[in-house]
Amino acid sequence: SVRPGVGIEVTREPVGVVGIITPWNFPIAIPAWKIAPALAYGNTVVFKPAELVPGCAWAIVDILHRAGLPKGVLNLVMGKGSVVGQAMLDSPDVTAQTFTGSVATGKRVAAACVEHMRKFQLEMGGKNPLVVLDDADLAVAVDCAVNGAFFSTGQRCTASSRLIVTEGIHDRFVAAVTEKLKGLVVDDALKAGTHIGPVVDPNQLAQDQDYVEIGRKEGATLAFGGERLNRETPGFYLQPALFTEATNAMRISREEIFGPVASVIRVKDYDEALQLANDTPFGLSSGICTTSLKYSTHFRRNAEAGMVMVNLPTAGVDFHVPFGGRKGSSFGSREQGRYAAEFFTTVKIAYTAAG
């Protein structure tokens, strides 16, 4: 202290009881990167997984209990979000709430937490751009686009569903992506040789198909795919859909689809590409394919996103570094790595003088 004889101690303490609500698309990874730091920093947990993936949630909790975790430290609750999730949000015993899911639900979580003056953390949607410049390595750009937009069946908040391409490489890029899509196998995800599995359920399939129709009506050109497929293994299979001649004002370019659907937006130069990349209510991940150090450096500094990828897919992160975005994609402190301490602990400062 600046005062003689006064000592100061700054410590972090557990926040208390942490509510954890997770989605279905990464039913092991997302719960793990929330539960692990919550427990490591000394909290207890109430964990509600998405209704579509109860088995994965049960397995995580069972493994931790069999490993010796005391009863009552990690508590699994399952059911509808409108019932079980709401009960968590209404409980005065929950002192912090972390949520990953849709923007609409995230806003309801935020409102409930503010009502209770509760600490909260939100990870929500994305409409992530991948900018492809004339000087890009075409093979690298195609791999980044196909991986980012269509792998995991496009069911990732970091999926690159907006492909913003400059004029000089546009036609070659579209032709190469289309050719790549023709060779991808859509089938049972557990079958050898499959590249793209089914979408999660009939509701998601219907939503994906609705957006394909919306894109057509808006005037974009469906260059490839968009048809439902039948396979030997029952499931909700959709041929990956690629739109061209899209604009950034179209719904398919502004709203998160959460399926294997991407739109190509033609631009004249880097400046227009950057402007459109940032023209979105989201700000999770943003990517660029270029061999120019000048443009890659400028993009890294000026992309309005929490994560920036250079010559890499917009989807795919390391777990030891912080994860999160801006705007409507995220709220609160970052997840993962050392940054998890910001959410799962609270700071206490103690001043002491000799008695």
Alpha-carbon span 111 to 264, nearest angstrom: 36
Bridge partners for 91 per DSSP: none
Marked catalytic residue, from 51, 123, 256, 335: 123
Pairing of β 345-353 and β 96-100: unpaired
Pairing of β 345-353 and β 6-14: antiparallel
Closest-CA residue to 160 (of 128, 113, 133): 128
Active site residue 335: no
Contact 46, 18 (CB under 8 A): yes
Alpha-carbon span 170 to 165, nearest angstrom: 6
Give the DSSP per-residue string, 187-234: S-TTSTT-SB--BSSHHHHHHHHHHHHHHHHHT-EEEE---EE--SS-
Give the DSSP per-residue string, 286-340: EEEE-S-HHHHHHHHHH--SSEEEESS-SS---TTS-B--EETTEESSPBSGGGG
- What's the burial of 341, exposed, middle or buried (CB within 10 Å: 0-12/13-18/19+)? middle
The answer for residues whose C-beta is within 8 angstroms of residue 129's C-beta and 6 or more apart is 160, 162, 163, 164, 276, 277, 280, 286, 287, 314
Bridge partners for 11 per DSSP: 348
Contact 100, 25 (CB under 8 A): no
Active site residues: 123
